[in-house]
């Protein structure tokens, strides 16, 4: 009985890998220039920003909540770090990028704290709390910047977003991988990580076992927000300017990535590796379609259809496992 | 005792088989139900009682066998078909909706409508009132169901089945969530159904219920039929015969179900003084000593659970003090209680005891995961070691510590919950209904474990609605009624009737 059960579970866990593999095979045959280290690095560079946000939002999804504010938080943090370094705001002099990054991370932690507090202490559903926070951040950002884009960034910022380390490894990929490995480790090997699973699986049981549910949930929101800020810093460096619209079009991608990788929106289920695979699938899918000459409309259509199929499959396999 | 062969019955099932994955849950089981018969299904957890019932009701498809009604072969492919053939079932898990009215719950999916499809509310309420009156439930059908007690919700569920006017009723553990008075009411109702010519099949772990009403008992063990007993004598020897049939061992006396009483009690470990809470308990005082098992009994609504939650720090209290090992708790809270060596096993293991998505291993280390850390890193080998230790110590039947707790039977799930708390080596162990919905064999094992903890120096407080269980296990008993402590008895003065009278609040 145990062996049959194990095989079933593994099919569900391996589905993202199989699907990714399938995509790689199909594109390798049909899309010119798909197979190769250059394109591979290109894909990872494209998904790094979504990926970092997806890692953060995975923690929030694990406790059965959702954070809709992250694309706005990302754009906001990019504006702050770029603006501070150019002496744009509050009549301040030019502030070194390093200090700007610290400021942004503190701001991000505060945003995450407020959302998490509203959710865990006031009992507002994470969906609503973060939606409200998204409007708040959007408003604050417009007040601060007057929607004015910033060009001519400091070299430190462009280095983070588009620079290279040791003969051609993009910095952005290194940051992504570090965040991923730390995330993987935290989720799997720390009490905090295991607590998130317990809370998402049964918050009442977790509370009765002495786990501080509110504190852990708030922490998940804080980490999610801070990672969105880190993504924002990388974003300005990558596109070479800071825009209030930087988060547009990225609204749901991190969440979609996590769910594609097997995370359950009801909480308690999901892994970092799954999220990485989910984000990779989305990245490869779009990249291949690009190389095949498909336009944005086709890319969006296909991504949507794949999401339908993938989530239906997750739910189906969970139901089968009982 | 004899197996029924070729006998004509209202409902006859033959050679029913059912397996999940590789596990054979029902193996060639026969079942015959006569007209106007009360038929009990008896067996340990995992014996296949619920599965058999679900097969008869078409909830789960069988993998073999045949079912006939009035001599006609029927394919029970879903509950709708079963209903068409006169079978209705009340499930163990409540399936009523708290957010709509009682009347709508009773007639859900069958609301009376006129030609235009508009709901006829007056007719609905009148019909509902009629049904409710017939089962002796005096409530306004327009009220939201969520305002009813668990027992009354169960009655509404029964009303729903009754309103369909079906000749065969299947009740899956209808009494597990009820107090003694409510059980009495339900058993009377079952007898009433019989007098109306209906047949009732019910599952229970309580032998006195079987002895009170059943005409026949089908006993299952490990998915096989081990006997069909016609109840002729309603006495203790007959009861014992059923138990030995059920667990495949001989049990001689009820007193053997319980371990020996404690002898040496040490200092007071837990002392509660004048505790009052907004949940409805008032000025409660009690204490528990080292090595002692203290029982707290009472009817549903006596606020025992609420009291214990406040003592544990899961809920706040208005005034009064809780002293743990002589120390007054100024900042009560769950984490604080755990840090002071208090553990609480909650009433409802599904909603507050277990994390169903997690494995046996992870559930066991939920409370004490910090012991498995090496420099902030959770060591898998330590988790495994701990889980294996408790699986062995408590005799938890699992294929592996890595399977989901959902795969376990009720008794084994409860042992996982118990392990979770025993890992913290508690000085004070609070247990709310520790054996609810568990078969007799597992119950006896859990009683032994509870006594062992006390003998090893823990102070145990157990909350139980079953008087015989409380009397068998506890060294001292407190009785609560409507949020007030109404009596305290030491072991010499334990008496079923005395306790009963205290619970109900009328003098002897």
Of B22, B314, B357, nearest to A269 by CB-CB distance is: B357
Largest CA distance in chain A: 70
pLDDT in tens, A107-144: 999 999 999 999 999 999 999 999 999 999 999 999 99
Please measure the distance between the N-terminal and C-terminal CA atoms of chain A and give it in whole angstroms.
13
Report the percentage of chain B scoring pLDDT > 90: 39
| Whether residue B308 has pLDDT greater than 90 | yes
Query: Average of pLDDT values for B220-230?
Result: 87
| Whether residue B4 has pLDDT greater than 50 | no
Q: Which of B459, B407, B127 is nearest to B266 (CA)?
A: B459
* A188 contacts on B by Cβ (under 8 Å): 378
| Whether residue A174 has pLDDT greater than 50 | yes
- Give the β-pairing of B38-42 and B23-33: unpaired
The domains of chain A, with CATH numbers, are: 2-321 (1.10.3470)
Instruction: Name the more confident of A113 and B25.
Output: A113
Helices (H), A93-170: 97-120, 126-145, 155-162
> To the nearest whole number, what is the mean pLDDT of chain A?
89
DSSP string, B255-301: GGGSPPPP----SEEEEEEEEE-TTS--SEEEEEETT-EEEEEE-TT
pLDDT in tens, B327-379: 998 888 999 999 999 999 988 887 888 998 899 999 999 988 888 888 888 88
| Whether residue B256 has pLDDT greater than 80 | no
Rounded distance, CA A149 to CA A240, Å? Answer: 11
Largest CA distance in chain B: 76
Q: Where is average pLDDT lowest: A267-271, B390-394, B464-468?
A: B464-468
Query: Average of pLDDT values for A82-103?
Result: 90
| Whether residue A5 has pLDDT greater than 50 | no
Task: Centre a 10 Å sphere on the Cβ of residue B41 and count the other Cβ atoms it contains.
Answer: 25
* B431 contacts on A by Cβ (under 8 Å): none
Beta strands in chain A (DSSP E): 164-165, 169-170
Are the C-beta atoms of B313 and B340 separated by less than 8 Å? no
Are the C-beta atoms of A113 and A119 separated by less than 8 Å? no
* B352 contacts on A by Cβ (under 8 Å): 202, 204-205, 208
Task: Centre a 10 Å sphere on the Cβ of residue A232 and count the other Cβ atoms it contains.
Answer: 31
Query: Would you list the domain boundaries of chain B?
Result: 2-86+166-252, 96-164
* CA angle centred on A114, ends A113 and A116, rounded to 5°: 65
Instruction: Name the more confident of B116 and A42.
Output: A42
ipTM for this model? 0.74
| Whether residue B1 has pLDDT greater than 50 | no
| Interface residue ranges in chain A relative to chain B, Cβ cutoff 8 Å | 1-2, 4-5, 188-191, 194, 197-198, 200-202, 204-212, 268-269, 322
- At B459 the three-state DSSP class reads strand
> To the nearest whole number, what is the mean pLDDT of chain B?
86
Output the pLDDT for position A168: 80
Half-sphere exposure of B153 (CA within 13 A, CB side): 19
Rounded distance, CA B333 to CA B351, Å? Answer: 20
Burial zone of B24 (CB within 10 Å; 0-12 exposed, 13-18 middle, 19+ buried) = middle
Both structure tokens of B383: 């988790």
Both structure tokens of B434: 């520790």
- Give the β-pairing of B484-490 and B476-481: antiparallel
Q: Where is average pLDDT lowest: A107-116, A240-249, B237-246?
A: B237-246
The reported pTM is 0.77
- At A167 the three-state DSSP class reads coil
| Whether residue A12 has pLDDT greater than 70 | no
Output the pLDDT for position A320: 67
Confidence of residue B21 (pLDDT cuts 50, 70, 90): low
User: Torsion over CA of B43, B48, B50 and B54, rounded to 10 degrees?
Assistant: -150
| Interface residue ranges in chain B relative to chain A, Cβ cutoff 8 Å | 20-23, 314, 334-335, 337-338, 344, 346, 351-358, 362, 366-367, 369-370, 373, 376-378, 399-400, 403, 406-407, 420
pLDDT in tens, A197-223: 999 988 988 988 888 999 999 999 999
Instruction: Identify the closest residue of chain B to A8 by CA–CA distance.
Output: B21
* CA angle centred on B389, ends B384 and B393, rounded to 5°: 150
Output the pLDDT for position A265: 87
* A268 contacts on B by Cβ (under 8 Å): 355, 357-358
Output the pLDDT for position A1: 37
| Whether residue B45 has pLDDT greater than 80 | no
Output the pLDDT for position B351: 80
Confidence of residue A311 (pLDDT cuts 50, 70, 90): confident
Fold of B2-86+166-252: Rossmann fold (3.40.50)
Best mean pLDDT range from B74-88, B292-306, B449-463: B449-463
pLDDT in tens, B158-171: 888 888 888 999 99
Q: Which residues face B273 on adjacent strands?
A: B321
- Whole-angstrom CA distances from B488 to A28, B270, B281, B293 are 80, 16, 16, 13
Burial zone of B502 (CB within 10 Å; 0-12 exposed, 13-18 middle, 19+ buried) = buried
Output the pLDDT for position A11: 62
Burial zone of A270 (CB within 10 Å; 0-12 exposed, 13-18 middle, 19+ buried) = buried
Of A194, A209, A212, nearest to B378 by CB-CB distance is: A194
């Amino acid at each position: 009985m145990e062996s049959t059960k194990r095989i079933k579970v593994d099919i569900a866990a391996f589905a993202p890998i199989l699907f990714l593999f399938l995509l790689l095979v199909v594109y390798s045959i049909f899309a010119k220039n798909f197979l190769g280290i250059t394109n591979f690095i290109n894909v990872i560079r494209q998904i790094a920003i979504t990926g970092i946000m997806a890692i953060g939002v995975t923690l929030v999804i694990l406790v059965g909540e959702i954070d809709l504010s992250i694309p706005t938080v990302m754009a906001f943090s990019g504006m702050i770090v770029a603006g501070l370094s150019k002496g744009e705001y509050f009549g301040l002099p030019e502030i070194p990028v390093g200090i700007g990054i610290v400021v942004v991370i503190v701001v991000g932690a505060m945003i995450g704290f407020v959302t998490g507090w509203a959710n865990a202490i006031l009992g507002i559903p994470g969906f609503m709390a973060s939606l409200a926070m998204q409007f708040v951040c959007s408003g604050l950002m417009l007040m601060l910047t007057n929607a004015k884009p910033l060009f001519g960034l400091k070299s430190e910022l462009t280095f983070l977003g588009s620079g290279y380390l040791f003969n051609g490894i993009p910095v952005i990929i290194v940051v992504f991988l570090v965040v991923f490995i730390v995330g993987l480790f935290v989720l799997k090997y720390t009490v905090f990580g295991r607590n998130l699973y317990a809370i998402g699986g049964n918050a009442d049981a977790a509370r009765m076992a002495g786990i501080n549910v509110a504190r852990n949930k708030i922490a998940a929101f804080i980490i999610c927000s801070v990672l969105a800020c880190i993504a924002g810093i990388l974003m300005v460096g990558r596109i070479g300017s800071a825009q209030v619209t930087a988060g547009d079009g990225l609204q749901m991608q991190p969440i979609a990535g996590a769910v594609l990788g097997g995370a359950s929106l009801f909480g308690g289920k999901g892994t970092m590796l799954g999220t990485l695979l989910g984000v990779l699938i989305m990245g490869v899918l779009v990249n291949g379609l690009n190389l095949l000459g498909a336009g944005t409309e086709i890319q969006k259509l296909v991504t949507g259809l794949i999401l339908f199929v993938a989530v239906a499959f997750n739910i189906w396999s969970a139901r089968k496992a009982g | 005792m004899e197996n029924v062969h070729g006998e004509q019955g209202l409902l006859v099932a033959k050679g029913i088989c059912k397996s999940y994955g590789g596990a054979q849950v029902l193996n060639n089981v026969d079942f015959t139900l006569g007209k106007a018969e009360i038929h009990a299904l008896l067996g340990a957890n995992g014996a296949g009682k619920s599965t058999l019932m679900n097969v008869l009701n078409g909830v789960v498809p069988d993998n073999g066998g045949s079912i006939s009604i009035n001599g006609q072969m029927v394919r029970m492919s879903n509950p709708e078909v079963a209903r068409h053939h006169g079978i209705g079932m009340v499930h163990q898990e409540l399936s009523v909706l708290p957010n709509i009215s009682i009347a709508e719950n009773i007639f859900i999916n069958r609301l009376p409508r006129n030609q235009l499809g508009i709901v006829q509310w007056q007719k609905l309420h009148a019909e509902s009132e009629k049904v409710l009156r017939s089962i002796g439930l005096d409530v306004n059908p327009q009220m939201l169901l969520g305002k009813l007690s668990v027992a009354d919700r169960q009655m509404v569920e029964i009303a729903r089945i009754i309103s369909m006017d079906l000749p065969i009723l299947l009740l899956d553990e209808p009494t597990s969530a009820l107090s003694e008075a409510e059980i009495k009411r339900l058993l009377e109702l079952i007898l009433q159904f019989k007098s109306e010519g209906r047949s009732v099949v019910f599952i229970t772990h309580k032998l006195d219920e079987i002895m009170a009403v059943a005409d026949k008992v089908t006993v299952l063990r490990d998915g096989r039929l081990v006997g069909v007993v016609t109840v002729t004598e309603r006495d203790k020897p007959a009861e014992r015969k059923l138990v030995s049939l059920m667990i495949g061992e001989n049990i001689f006396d009820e007193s053997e179900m319980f371990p020996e009483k404690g002898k040496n009690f040490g200092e007071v470990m837990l002392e509660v003084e004048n505790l009052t809470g907004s949940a409805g308990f008032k000025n409660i005082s009690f204490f528990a000593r080292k090595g002692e098992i203290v029982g707290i009994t009472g009817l549903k609504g006596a606020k025992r659970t609420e009291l214990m939650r406040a003592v544990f720090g899961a809920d706040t209290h208005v005034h009064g003090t809780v002293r743990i090992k002589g120390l007054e708790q100024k900042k009560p809270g769950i984490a604080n209680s755990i840090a002071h060596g208090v553990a609480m096993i909650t009433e409802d293991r599904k909603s507050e005891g277990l994390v169903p998505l997690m494995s046996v291993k992870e559930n066991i280390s939920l409370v004490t995961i910090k012991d498995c850390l090496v420099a902030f890193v959770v060591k898998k080998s330590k988790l495994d070691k701990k889980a294996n230790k408790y699986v062995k110590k408590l005799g938890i039947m699992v294929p592996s510590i890595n399977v989901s707790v959902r795969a376990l039977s009720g008794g084994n799930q409860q042992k996982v919950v118990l392990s979770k708390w025993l890992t913290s080596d508690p000085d004070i162990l609070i247990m709310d209904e520790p054996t609810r919905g568990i078969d007799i064999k597992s119950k006896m094992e859990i009683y032994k474990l509870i006594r062992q903890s006390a003998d090893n120096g823990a102070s145990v407080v157990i909350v139980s609605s079953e008087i015989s269980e409380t009397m068998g296990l506890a060294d001292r008993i407190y009785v609560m009624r409507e949020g007030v402590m109404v009596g305290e008895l030491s072991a010499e003065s334990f008496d079923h009737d005395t306790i009963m009278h205290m619970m109900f609040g009328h003098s002897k």
